[in-house]
C-alpha cells in the first residue's frame, strides 16, 4: 500500500509538472501570437428588442493556437494579465474593433471588453483615444465593457479613469451584472450607460420565480437610471419573449446570434435586420 501511495504522489507531481510546463509553453506562445497573427476577433450582435435591429456588436477575442486549436479567452486573458501582454493585446483589440466598426452602419456601435489589469493603467484613456484617432471611429460608437471585479479596489483611480473615458465620448457598460458582491454600490458611484445582466439569471427564466423577480427589478432599476438594459445569454424564444414583455432593451445570446466573423451576413433565428 505504501509503494502504491508513493506512486500516486509521483503521479500527482508529474501531472503538476506537466501543467506547469504547459502553462509556460502557453505563455511563450502567447508572446508571439500577435505578431504571428494568431489572434482574431469575432463579433456577436446585441439586438434591440423593440425594433429588432442590431444596435451594438460585441468584439470577442479568439486565439487560434497552431497545435492546441482554438484557446478560450477565459484561459489566456489571465495569462496575458500575468505577463503584461494584456497591454499590446488590449491595444490591438481596441484598434481592430474600432477599424471594423467603421465599416458598419452608422447606428451600430462596437463593444470592447476591458480587463482589470487594463483598467488599472492610468494610460487607458490615452490608449482608447489613440485607437479612436487611428481608426477614425466616432467615440459615441465605442462602448467599453467592464465588470464589477475591475472596480473592486481604489475607487479614486477608478472614478478618475471612468470620467476620463466619459469625457472622450465613449460609453461604459457594466458587464456580468449580478455576479459580484456589491453590484448596487457601483451604480451609485458612476452613471453607467448600460447594464448587462449576467446570463446565469436569463438561464432561469421559466424555471425560477425568484430569478424572474430579480430580473424584473434589475430591468426597472436600469431603466429608472437611464441605462440601456441588456440581457446576456439568451438561448431560447421563450427567454426572448419574456425579456421583451418585461421591458428589457437589448438581448444578446446564441438564439439572437452567435459570435461570428461577419455579424451582418448571417440571418439569425431572431431575424436580425441590417441597417
Where do contacts with Ca ion occur on this chain (CB under 5 A)?
A: 113, 145, 175-176, 232
Q: Which does 230 bind (CB under 5 to 8 A by kind): Ca ion, ligand C2E, none?
A: none
CA 21 to chain centre: 29
Q: How far is the CB of 196 from Ca ion (least distance, A)?
A: 5
C-alpha cell recorded at residue 179: 455576479
Query: Nearer to ligand C2E by C-beta: 108 or 231?
Result: 231
The 126-165 site mask, x for binding ligand C2E (CB under 6 A), equals -------------------x--------------------
Angle at 145 between CA 148 and CA 238, to 5 degrees: 90
Distance CA 257, CA 254 (A): 5
Site residue total, ligand C2E (CB under 6 A)? 20
**Could you tell me which residues come within 8 angstroms of residue 224 by beta carbon, excluding any fewer than 6 positions away?**
none
The 256-275 site mask, x for binding ligand C2E (CB under 6 A), equals ---x----------------
The 219-238 site mask, x for binding ligand C2E (CB under 6 A), equals --------------xxx---
Residue 254 engages ligand C2E in binding (rule: CB under 6 A): yes
Residue with the shortest CB distance to Ca ion: 145
Cell 447606428 -> residue: 107
Using CB under 6 A, which of the segments 17-25, 219-227, 252-260, 266-274 binds ligand C2E? 252-260
Q: Specify which residues 56 forms β-bridges with.
A: 46, 109
Q: Which of 127, 58, 55 minimizes the C-alpha distance to 89?
A: 127
Tell me how far CA of residue 5 lies from CA of 1, 11, 17, 19, in angstroms: 6, 10, 18, 21
The 2-41 site mask, x for binding ligand C2E (CB under 6 A), equals ----------------------------------------
268, burial (CB in 10 Å: exposed 0-12, middle 13-18, buried 19+): middle
Evaluated on CA atoms 76, 81, 83, 89, the torsion sign reads: positive
Residue with the shortest CB distance to ligand C2E: 253
- Residue 47: phi and psi, rounded to 5, are -105, 135
Cell 500575468 -> residue: 82
Residues of this chain that bind ligand C2E (CB under 6 A): 44, 60-61, 72-74, 77, 93, 113, 115, 145, 175-176, 199, 233-235, 253-254, 259
Amino acid at each position: 500500500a505504501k509503494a502504491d501511495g508513493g506512486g500516486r504522489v509521483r503521479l500527482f507531481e508529474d501531472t503538476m509538472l506537466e501543467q506547469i510546463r504547459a502553462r509556460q509553453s502557453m505563455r511563450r506562445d502567447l508572446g508571439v501570437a500577435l505578431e504571428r497573427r494568431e489572434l482574431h476577433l469575432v463579433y456577436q450582435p446585441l439586438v434591440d428588442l423593440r425594433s429588432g435591429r442590431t444596435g451594438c456588436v460585441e468584439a470577442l477575442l479568439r486565439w487560434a493556437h497552431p497545435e492546441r486549436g482554438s484557446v478560450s479567452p477565459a484561459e489566456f486573458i489571465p495569462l496575458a494579465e500575468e505577463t503584461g501582454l494584456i497591454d499590446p493585446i488590449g491595444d490591438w483589440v481596441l484598434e481592430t474593433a474600432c477599424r471594423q466598426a467603421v465599416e458598419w452602419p452608422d447606428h451600430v456601435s462596437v463593444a470592447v471588453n476591458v480587463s482589470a489589469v487594463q483598467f488599472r493603467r492610468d494610460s487607458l484613456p490615452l490608449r482608447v483615444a489613440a485607437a479612436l484617432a487611428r481608426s477614425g471611429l466616432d467615440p459615441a460608437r465605442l462602448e467599453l465593457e467592464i465588470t464589477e471585479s475591475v472596480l473592486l479596489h481604489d475607487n479614486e483611480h477608478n472614478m478618475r479613469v471612468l470620467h476620463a473615458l466619459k469625457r472622450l465620448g465613449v460609453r461604459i457598460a457594466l458587464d456580468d451584472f449580478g455576479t459580484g458582491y456589491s453590484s448596487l454600490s457601483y451604480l451609485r458611484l458612476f452613471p453607467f450607460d448600460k447594464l448587462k445582466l449576467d446570463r446565469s439569471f436569463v438561464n432561469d427564466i421559466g424555471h425560477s420565480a425568484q430569478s424572474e423577480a430579480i430580473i424584473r427589478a434589475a430591468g426597472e432599476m436600469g431603466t429608472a437610471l437611464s441605462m440601456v438594459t441588456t440581457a446576456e445569454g439568451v438561448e431560447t424564444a421563450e427567454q426572448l419573449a419574456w425579456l421583451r414583455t418585461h421591458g428589457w432593451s437589448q438581448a444578446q445570446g446564441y438564439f439572437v446570434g452567435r459570435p461570428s466573423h461577419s455579424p451582418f451576413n448571417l440571418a439569425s433565428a431572431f431575424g436580425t435586420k441590417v441597417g
